[in-house]
Amino acid sequence: MVITAASTVETVQKRFPQAVIEAVDFRDEQTLVLRPESLVDVCTYLKKSLQYDLLETVTAVDWLERVPRYDVIYQLLSMPNQCYVRLKLRVGERREEHPAVPSVTGVWAGANWYEREVYDLFGITFIGHPDLRRILMPMDWTTHPLRKDYPLNGFDLPEPHWGGQVPYTIDPGVGQQTLRTPQGRTLDERREKVNPNQEPGTLKEDTQNT
């Protein structure tokens, strides 16, 4: 059997009829919308039987006003057959704080960091992940920057903080981030060197040495 993206969709629909919510063909790109509880079974079949040996990425989209709110997206490549298939889950039915989907790290080990990134930036939990923790934001950051209700300018942070981005121990709500200014220190400048017009909250040079 010649494996193509279109034949892959047809095969999965026949083998897992209860798993597939929708199949979408858009500009010759094939997408299967799956029920979350069937994800691992479908992925295992795609890898072992249809040679989808590369998980290119796992990402998400926040549709703030939609229920379910999030799409979790998996881009798969069959290198022997040179064809792509996209899998999609829709989660966040009850506006829960941390919607959950199964981890596919047991199918593709490379999912490890992708799932951690989605967890960090969207707050989506991956059940069965071996080490689910933040990968970009500080460990005690309480919010998820790629959610659509995250303030575009970040949060208004207390003084003193160089650059205006430090973790909170509680959810700060909404506000504006304190931004680095041209008069402040550059990114790689040593902290001992203080500009006379330093950013608020920074001690002056003479008080640092007393």
What residue ranges do the domains of the chain occupy? 5-139, 151-210
Average pLDDT of 121-133? 96
Exposed/middle/buried for residue 51 (C-beta within 10 Å: 0-12, 13-18, 19+): middle
CATH architecture of the domain formed by 5-139: 2-Layer Sandwich (3.30)
Specify the range with the lowest mean pLDDT, choosing from 17-31, 99-113, 123-137, 138-152.
138-152
Kindly state the average pLDDT of the residues 168-197: 43
The arithmetic mean of pLDDT across residues 108-125, rounded, is 97
Query: Does residue 180 register a pLDDT over 50?
Result: no
Instruction: Using a pLDDT cut of 70, give the percent of the chain over it.
Output: 72
pTM above 0.85, yes or no: no
H-type alpha helices, the chain: 5-15, 39-50, 111-122, 205-208
Structure tokens belonging to residue 87? 């899998």
Position 118 pLDDT exceeds 90: yes
Q: Is the pLDDT of residue 169 over 60?
A: no
pLDDT of residue 138: 84
pLDDT at 198 over 80: no
Res 188 pLDDT > 80? no
pLDDT in tens, 66-85: 999 999 999 999 999 999 99
